[in-house]
Amino acid sequence: QQPVQSPQAVILREGEDAVINCSSSKALYSVHWYRQKHGEAPVFLMILLKGGEQKGHEKISASFNEKKQQSSLYLTASQLSYSGTYFCGTLSVGSSGYSTLTFGKGTMLLVSP
Amino acid sequence: ETGVTQTPRHLVMGMTNKKSLKCEQHLGHNAMYWYKQSAKKPLELMFVYNFKEQTENNSVPSRFSPECPNSSHLFLHLHTLQPEDSALYLCASSSFPGTTNTEAFFGQGTRLTVV
């Protein structure tokens, strides 16, 4: 079952902050965050593995609340280069016993000058 | 460059045609994936191969036929497609299937248009 992302879209001016949320109805063991620019492949940002863990990538950080089954991505002092669609992905174990990544619908972020 | 290469980048095919998409990685990864990305839809997992064996088929119609001859190459054979199959098809790979801390590397995708 795919995770749910919110909001669907965000429009920011350069320098403003934004938060993107990802939640799941199933227990989460890890959350993956990716960014996809228009016409390009999704690019890995970070993985969060433990409850309460926080990580950072440039001025982008994320938190993972295992109990609430949700993760949030924080974009601080946004730059034009942050524009793109952000996906969260969660692992689910298939019938084979191997884990596969299931992605949310994505959050489109547009940073304007 | 992510290390995952997909060809062709763009493909236009008729509903009666047969074509194949190719994905190649030399990252030493053991897991390879096909995802479909349509407008207004999430990245939909289609197939997963681990150590050259297909481990997931996410209820994909038989007009899509994957093939993984070795750990570095993955194909998606297409035949008698429908216009609604038009989408961006993304290939991805990762190193250790079944673990929680493995990032996926995506190719640039093949933009498929079925006419």
Give the pLDDT of residue A50.
Answer: 65
Least confident of A96-105, B59-68, B105-114: A96-105
Q: Which residue of B has its CA nearest to A28?
A: B100
The pLDDT confidence band at residue A68, using thresholds 50, 70 and 90, is confident
CA distance B61 to B102: 28
Q: Does B28 touch chain A (CB under 8 A)?
A: no
pLDDT reading at B12 higher than 60: yes
A72-86, B50-64, B71-85: segment of lowest average pLDDT: B50-64
Q: What is the mean pLDDT of residues B27-36?
A: 92
Beta bridge partners of B74: B23
Does B42 contact A101 at a Cβ distance shorter than 8 Å?
A: no
Identify which of B41, B50, B103 has the shortest CB distance to residue A98. B50
Copy the structure tokens of residue A96: 């084979």
- Cβ-Cβ contacts under 8 Å for A14 (sequence gap 6 or more): A78, A79, A80, A111, A112, A113
Q: Which residues of B35-47 are buried (b: 16+ CB within 10 A; e: fewer)?
A: bbbeeeebbbbbb
Report pLDDT for A53.
64
Q: What is the per-residue pLDDT for B39?
A: 81
Residue B98 confidence (pLDDT) above 60:
no
Rounded to the nearest integer, the mean pLDDT of chain A is: 87
Say whether residue B82 is in contact with chain A using an 8 A CB cutoff: no
**Chain B contact for A43, CB < 8 A?**
yes
